[in-house]
């Protein structure tokens, strides 16, 4: 699986935008970029995913570099509830061997939101 690199931790203030970076220089053309987050004492939850174009949903935006070697998760206005570990994960969705189901988690970025 292609690897991702994220900062160990980041800090933000409430009501301000947060840009969480992810480097994935060995990404392949069939890798989707997924973001999940894990709030304290809970299981991970899906945030957003994309392939080449930037994506928006009610939770966040995903900005993907033109060469796809990096991406940024954008929380437009951080709230205290957004304090979590954010995981950037690559998923190869080729169906060979059924391996497209795998989510391989790294250490993620611990986001602290200050009131």
Told to check if 46 binds another protein by CB under 8 A, we report yes
| CA 7 – CA 89 distance, rounded (Å) | 14
49 near 35, Cβ under 8 Å?
A: yes
Told to check if 43 binds another protein by CB under 8 A, we report yes
Told to check if 68 binds another protein by CB under 8 A, we report no
37 near 85, Cβ under 8 Å?
A: yes
Q: Which stretch binds another protein (CB under 8 A): 6-14, 46-54, 57-65, 70-78?
A: 46-54
Among 49, 63, 68, 72, binds another protein (CB under 8 A): 49
Q: Which stretch binds another protein (CB under 8 A): 3-11, 21-29, 69-77, 89-97?
A: 89-97
Q: Which stretch binds another protein (CB under 8 A): 6-14, 17-25, 76-84, 101-109?
A: 101-109
- Residue 81 class from Cβ within 10 Å (0-12 exposed, 13-18 middle, 19+ buried)? exposed
- Residue 67 class from Cβ within 10 Å (0-12 exposed, 13-18 middle, 19+ buried)? exposed
- Which residues inside 3-42 make contact with another protein, applying CB under 8 A? 32, 34, 41-42
| CA 58 – CA 101 distance, rounded (Å) | 24
For binding to another protein (CB under 8 A), which residues are involved?
32, 34, 41-46, 49, 51, 91, 93-95, 98, 100-108
């Amino acid at each position: 699986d292609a690897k991702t690199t994220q900062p160990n931790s980041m800090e933000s203030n409430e009501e301000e935008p947060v840009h969480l970076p992810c480097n994935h220089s060995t990404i392949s053309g069939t890798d989707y970029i997924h973001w999940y987050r894990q709030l304290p004492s809970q299981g991970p939850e899906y945030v957003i995913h994309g392939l080449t174009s930037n994506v928006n949903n009610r939770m966040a935006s995903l900005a993907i570099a033109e060469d796809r070697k990096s991406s940024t998760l954008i929380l437009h206005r951080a709230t205290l509830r957004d304090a979590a570990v954010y995981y950037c994960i690559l998923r190869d969705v080729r169906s060979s061997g059924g391996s497209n189901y795998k989510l391989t988690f790294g250490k993620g970025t611990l986001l602290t939101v200050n009131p």
